[in-house]
């Protein structure tokens, strides 16, 4: 019994703390990022869309089901920029 108490006091994290850290860092923070991000898309679908959900709701579902992988997909999609090719500029007319 004394050995267990000494291990608990040495700074080793318990399984409960690790489980909460995985839940918070892997699911809650990415979901909050998708909800609060200004470039996450609209909550409502675009006009003429047949789907009743907007892009942000779709990202929330992806992050909820895929966890950190869904969040990485969200981050990657937000950072897309058009590629600038190294070719000469078109002459002005």
* 69-88 pLDDT, tens digit each: 999 999 998 776 565 556 66
Whole-number Å distance between alpha carbons of 59 and 73: 9
Residue 35 vs residue 39, higher pLDDT: 35
Mean pLDDT of the 21-29 span: 88
Give the domain extent around 27. 23-44+51-77
32, part of any domain: yes
Torsion of CA 10, 12, 14, 17, to 10 degrees: 110
Res 39: pLDDT: 84
58, part of any domain: yes
28, part of any domain: yes
- Domain total for the chain? 1
Mean pLDDT of the 55-68 span: 92
């Amino acid at each position: 019994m004394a050995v267990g108490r000494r291990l608990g006091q040495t700074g080793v994290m318990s399984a409960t703390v690790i489980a909460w850290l995985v839940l918070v860092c892997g699911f809650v923070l990415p979901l909050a990022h998708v909800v609060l991000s200004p470039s996450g898309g609209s909550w409502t679908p675009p006009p003429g869309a047949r789907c009743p959900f907007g892009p942000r709701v779709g990202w929330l579902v992806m992050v909820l089901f895929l966890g950190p992988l869904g969040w990485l997909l969200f981050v990657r999609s937000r950072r897309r920029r058009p590629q600038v090719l190294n070719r000469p500029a078109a002459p002005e007319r």
